[in-house]
Amino acid sequence: MGAALKTNPTHVKVTEFWKVNGCPLAAALRGRIRKLGGTGKKFLCVYSDEIFQNRGEIMATETEITDTTIVNEKPVMTGQNWDSKKAKINGTTSYMPSIFGLTIAGLVTQELMKNCE
């Protein structure tokens, strides 16, 4: 599920999709699946139960931005196309998406090995 705002690799877990807790992306997907009348098909999911309070902060304030002008009380970078919607981020550390991907690869490998036996 979502790797945004995750920093601790020891919190990465594998469980069935409908049992994932603490992941806003999983909750949104479950709600969407239910709304569309989807089935309760079971499948494994990689997620992190690490929770942060940050839900998307402004990247920089007008005093932190260099070469700016103020338009409608919002900072606008001179010579740049500034969009305040793009200024909100839910970032992650560079290694977390890799850990999620490698965990999924490990699950696929285990499943293939089970099928070969």
Map 45-61 to HEC letters. Answer: EEEECCCCCCCCEECCC
Q: What is the pLDDT of residue 64?
A: 46
3-state secondary structure at position 21: coil
- Token reading at 70: 């103020």
Query: What are the residue ranges of helices labelled H in the chain?
Result: 24-35, 95-116
Higher pLDDT, 94 or 77: 94
Q: What is the pLDDT of residue 65?
A: 45
Q: What is the pLDDT of residue 51?
A: 77
Alpha-carbon gap, residue 10 to 103, rounded angstroms: 12
Predicted confidence band of residue 49 (pLDDT cuts 50, 70, 90):
confident
Strands 74-77 and 88-89: unpaired
- Mean pLDDT computed over 14-19: 92
The amino acid occupying position 51 is I
Q: What is the pLDDT of residue 103?
A: 94
The amino acid occupying position 54 is N
42-55 b/e (C-beta count within 10 Å ≥ 16 → b): eeebbbbebeeeee
Alpha-carbon gap, residue 17 to 9, rounded angstroms: 19
Sign of CA dihedral 112, 108, 41, 11: positive
pLDDT in tens, 28-43: 888 898 888 887 788 8
pLDDT over 80 (residue 15): yes
pLDDT over 60 (residue 58): no
